[in-house]
Structure 1
Amino acid sequence: MLSPRGLLLVTAEPEQAAFEAERDQLGLEEIPLERARALWPILGDGVVRAAFSDETLDLDTDRLLQGFLREARAAGAEIVTGAPVTAIRRTGEGWRVETPKGAFSGGRLVNAAGAWADRVAAMAGLPPIGLRPLRRSMARIPAPMDPSAWPMVEGAGESWYMKPDAGALIVSPCDEDPMEPHDAWADDMVLAEGLARFEAHAAMEVTRLLASWAGLRSFAPDRRLVIGPDPLEPAFLWCAGQGGYGFQTACAASRLLAETAGGEGAGLEAGIAAALSPARFR
């Protein structure tokens, strides 16, 4: 599920304050540029400082998803896709959710609707918590050589990042543009600006894209996850606000949600359940 990757932080002259703050926050070791170039052979001449950690890992997201699906199906869950929710109503036994593929009923309703989570809450008669969907764009570009051993590379101040991907490179401008919930797509100008920032730190020119896409990363007002029963309606449970850390937090978040749904004490560190509870917005 996890494999070594490493994280290299680089900076050009105007970004040194942001570099130092991020280096310290992430616990990275500042390294000579010669070592940085050995780690990332296309390090550009504009880079003046670098920091590194070999403790950063790659997560096999497809394997994680398939594992969750197998566990869910083994427990009797039915996976229904292409079924947008059209109505939600409270019943004497719990909840009834209407979709074009039929109605589904249950004693508890878990709101894991991502960018649409506030809208789902409204359909259930509950006030929103103020989630903000923010677009994050990605470009996949050809690599000038085999990048499989390269670390993930990030520009100071999270102005861009790059990581190897199946023989190519994924580059993101690290955009956080507010959006209404929708099936997002990458903006050409945003990608171009991010790729220009990447080129300012790399000894390569981007001449074509292999692919591009975007997604919506949804944040609560305090940018923390929202997990657990809504105090206004305990049978309505939130699993939202993951931002850009849904995969990394999925195992612990699902465990916490299951424990709170079952009325058990949270098995995580004391105080985490309270810090992530939707009660902080009520």
Structure 2
Amino acid sequence: MTQEHYDIAVIGAGMAGASLAAECAPNARVLLLEAEERPGYHTTGRSAAFWEECYGGPAIVPLTLASGAYLRDGGFLKLRGAMTIGQSDDAGLIDAFVNRFSDTGATIERIGAVAMRARLPDLLPEWTEGVWQPHCSDIDVAALHQHYLALAARAGTRPLCRARIARIERNAERWAIADERGRSWQASAIVNAAGAWADEVARMAGARALGIQPLRRTVAQVETDPPTDPAAPLVLDINGRFYFKPESGRLWLSPHDETPSPAVDAAPEEIAIAEAIERYQQTVDAKVTRVERRWAGLRSFSPDRAPVYGWDPTVDGFFWFAGQGGFGIQTAPAAARLASQLLLDAPRDAMTAPLDAGLYRPGRFA
């Protein structure tokens, strides 16, 4: 039987794979493979759903800012604002945070107790140090993911689900790819957009694993007394011990955990939920009265916590689009545009011109 041949085979149809397929499909024949029954099952569908300019650190800010106009113009963002908070002993950490991002282009403002309580009246009195980010917004993650899947489909690429890869082989100038159901395809290039499974896919293709580590993040949807103000900001602890935000009339609450995990279907742990509730109740004058829903997702990071975009330095035709941690959704427009230009050897445009692709190259780990 003659195998179908594609220019690019993208492995993974979460936000990363879907956005890159959408960018490439108008100019290449793209195969989009997804191991699960539906795209985005493990991470995209479990995101805490915010666009925050400083999230991920200074190396990520250019990607976030470059993605902002696309997300706003597409109607995927709803303005909320974010407040990073600390106690008096944390003043130095708050100042260091402001200094760290002062030259990145992110809009941040050092604020004190009065301004903090104007934005969050129930904040307990010991929280006196803060940073305000006025542009932070909620992201409609499902709509953005479906947008990219629809763009890809319009150009002839639809995700092929339940296609868990079993074998990858390089034959001359082509890749031969087979899934666990015995189906097979050929492609000139493979894109590794497999998220938590990125190193596993790399090894199958004969490339060196880069140390992409999945970390579990837990989130709970809770009821509170008094009820959560739907206009309240996203609130983050300067020590990285919690964050919370209103969502659909409830509160989304996380202990900001980063627990190393194998690449699995992550499940929330009760201890993480309990820690999140305790930390929330030590922050505001409110009580959690009921946990309605809980979930966990895997956020996968490279060793230096910057994403990995580009051709593998030793294996021809193997392209990395991985290690995008918790910032992969808010940076999806610029990341996918940049990666498509690297893949197709296309010129930069206004969105990607400010980006330094060298910061994200796989060869930095050689």
Query: What TM-score, normalized by structure 2, do the two folds share?
Result: 0.72
Matches of 1:61 and 1:244, distance apart in 2? 13
Q: Which residue of 1 aligns with 2:81?
A: 6
Q: Which residue of 1 aligns with 2:184?
A: 103
Q: Which residue of 2 aligns with 1:210?
A: 292
Match of 1:196 among 270, 278, 288: 278
Matches of 1:146 and 1:153, distance apart in 2? 13
Sequence identity, in percent? 35
Could you list the per-position Cα deviations for residues 162-189 of structure 1 after superposition, in whole angstroms to 9, with x for gaps in the alignment? 1111111111111111111111111211
Moved more, 200-209 or 8-17: 8-17
Q: Which residue of 2 aligns with 1:245?
A: 327
Pairing 1:40–2:120 present? yes
Matches of 1:67 and 1:81, distance apart in 2? 18
Letter in 2 for 1:79: P
Matches of 1:185 and 1:67, distance apart in 2? 28
Q: Which residue of 1 aligns with 2:91?
A: 16
Displacement, 1:85? Answer: 0.9
Q: Which residue of 2 aligns with 1:229?
A: 311
Structure 1 gap ranges (5+) = none
Could you list the per-position Cα deviations for residues 44-72 of structure 1 after superposition, in whole angstroms to 9, with x for gaps in the alignment? 23322333231212222111111100111
Match of 1:62 among 131, 142, 145: 142
Matches of 1:81 and 1:174, distance apart in 2? 31
Matches of 2:357 and 2:118, distance apart in 1? 43
Contact between 1:140 and 1:212, CA under 8 Å: does it hold in 2?
A: yes
Displacement, 1:146? Answer: 5.0
Contact between 2:116 and 2:128, CA under 8 Å: does it hold in 1?
A: no
Matches of 1:23 and 1:43, distance apart in 2? 21
Contact between 1:111 and 1:120, CA under 8 Å: does it hold in 2?
A: yes
Matches of 2:208 and 2:243, distance apart in 1? 36
Moved more, 259-268 or 185-194: 259-268
Please show how residues 95-244 of structure 1 align to structure 2 within 5 Å.
Answer: 95-101=175-181, 102-143=183-224, 144-145=226-227, 147-244=229-326
Could you list the per-position Cα deviations for residues 9-61 of structure 1 after superposition, in whole angstroms to 9, with x for gaps in the alignment? 22234433323323444563233434322322321233223332312122221
Moved more, 47-56 or 67-76: 47-56
Matches of 2:206 and 2:348, distance apart in 1? 27
Letter in 2 for 1:77: T
Could you list the per-position Cα deviations for residues 63-82 of structure 1 after superposition, in whole angstroms to 9, with x for gaps in the alignment? 11111001111111121122
Matches of 1:92 and 1:195, distance apart in 2? 56
Say which SS state the counterpart of residue 210 (structure 2) adopts: coil
Could you list the per-position Cα deviations for residues 249-280 of structure 1 after superposition, in whole angstroms to 9, with x for gaps in the alignment? 11111111111111234443467112211121
Q: Which residue of 2 aligns with 1:259?
A: 341
Matches of 2:229 and 2:101, distance apart in 1? 24
Aligned CA RMSD, in angstroms, stands at 1.9
Matches of 2:331 and 2:316, distance apart in 1? 23
Displacement, 1:92? Answer: 3.4
Matches of 1:253 and 1:3, distance apart in 2? 21
Could you list the per-position Cα deviations for residues 123-158 of structure 1 after superposition, in whole angstroms to 9, with x for gaps in the alignment? 111110111111111111114335221110111222
Displacement, 1:222? Answer: 1.2
Say which SS state the counterpart of residue 246 (structure 1) adopts: coil
Deviating above 6 A after TM superposition, structure 1's stretches of 4 or more consecutive aligned residues are: none
Moved more, 79-88 or 260-269: 260-269
Query: What TM-score, normalized by structure 1, do the two folds share?
Result: 0.92
Given the superposition, is the C-alpha separation of residues 14 and 51 from structure 1 closer, same or farther in structure 2, using an over 3 Å criterion?
same
Contact between 1:229 and 1:236, CA under 8 Å: does it hold in 2?
A: yes
Displacement, 1:119? Answer: 0.4
Q: Which residue of 1 aligns with 2:9?
A: none
Say which SS state the counterpart of residue 184 (structure 2) adopts: strand
Say which SS state the counterpart of residue 233 (structure 1) adopts: coil
Matches of 2:365 and 2:131, distance apart in 1? 38
Matches of 1:23 and 1:198, distance apart in 2? 24
Q: Which has the bigger relative contact order, CA under 8 A and spacing at least 6?
A: 2
Contact between 2:90 and 2:129, CA under 8 Å: does it hold in 1?
A: no
